Amino acid sequence: MAKLSKKAYRDQRHARVRAKVSGTSKRPRVSVFKSNRHVFVQVIDDVARRTLVSSKVVSQAKSKLKGKKTEVALKIGEMIAEKMKEQGIREAVFDRGGYKYHGRVKAVADGLRAGGIKV
């Protein structure tokens, strides 16, 4: 039997998570994707099938952030929380995207909580 790649295992974990986690307009899903260099965050209403807020919205401020990757992820979480509050969103469901709830993924969730979003 062939060994699956890291990405294939992550995709399997992500599918398991997505089977249980779904976002609505009142409580959207906060989806996290991380590459080696960046962290991307989207706030998604799965019922209407549209993205409400994304990390691209804060890309100007995001590009000026300096520090370690985990510190930057925390700041991105806080910026997304600010954008969510502007749209009247106070709570959300966190989708870790098949990654461990550790490091940068945890930092994004902590940043959302620090920004006043109930995750």
Average pLDDT over residues 19-24: 90
More reliable by pLDDT, 49 or 57: 49
Give the strand order in the sheet containing 29-34.
50-54, 39-45, 29-34, 93-95
**Domain assignment of residue 3, yes or no:** no
**Domain assignment of residue 14, yes or no:** no
Tracing tokens 């929380």 back to the chain, one arrives at: 81
Tracing tokens 């995750």 back to the chain, one arrives at: 119
- Both tokens of residue 81? 């929380």
Using an 8 Å Cβ cutoff, are 84 and 77 in contact? no
**Domain assignment of residue 11, yes or no:** no
**Domain assignment of residue 26, yes or no:** no
Q: Would you state the pLDDT for residue 29?
A: 96
Using an 8 Å Cβ cutoff, are 96 and 17 in contact? yes
**Domain assignment of residue 50, yes or no:** yes
Instruction: Please give the share of the chain, as a percent, with pLDDT higher than 70.
Output: 98
**Domain assignment of residue 20, yes or no:** no
Nearest to 89 by CA among 45, 27, 46: 27
If one counts the domains in the chain, the total is 1
List, for residues 29-43, the tens digit of each pLDDT value: 999 999 988 899 999
Give the Å distances, CA to CA, from 101 to 48, 63, 87, 110.
27, 24, 26, 11
- Both tokens of residue 57? 């919205």
Q: What is the CATH number of the domain that holds 68?
A: 3.30.420.100
Per the structure, the complete domain to which residue 104 belongs is given by 31-114
Q: Would you state the pLDDT for residue 1?
A: 64
Q: What is the average pLDDT score of the chain?
A: 91
